[in-house]
Amino acid sequence: MAEWYSGLLPYPLLLPIQVVILLAQAKISTDVFRRTGWLARRHSRAGRALRWLSILYFSGMALRYAITMAWYPERRWLGTGTIPIVFHWVLAAYLYTLGRYVGRRDAR
């Protein structure tokens, strides 16, 4: 369990936040699949903003990983506390992909 939990937030707070994020992703992905909802339409500014935020988010997590590895070399590669960082990278990739879709040039 320690490998999956970074300890930055108390678990009773972390779990509901994770559930809300997963539900939001499911709703957004369903809307995009069905081509309904606000994020299923073209919004070049929103797409650009999502891409930039995802790059900053990914970079922040890369910095967090580098600092963690420098301070705690025994945690290398997927030791305690690094698995949450990898999942943040997955979330950043989701946001980047969503930004690419929302900011697409075709208006279909």
- Whether 104 is covered by a domain: the verdict is yes
Q: What pTM does this model have? A: 0.80
Domain count of the fold of the chain:
2
* Residue 1: both structure tokens together: 């369990």
Percent of the chain topping pLDDT 90: 43
Q: Which domain holds residue 49?
A: 42-108
Same-domain pairing of 46 and 19? no
Q: Considering only CA atoms, which of 39, 38, 34 is closest in space to residue 94?
A: 39
**Structure confidence at residue 94 as a pLDDT band (50, 70, 90):** very high
- Model confidence pLDDT, tens digit, residues 52-62: 999 999 999 99
**Rounded distance between C-alpha atoms, residue 74 and residue 35, angstroms:** 47
1 within domain boundaries: no
The reply to whether 71 falls in a domain is yes
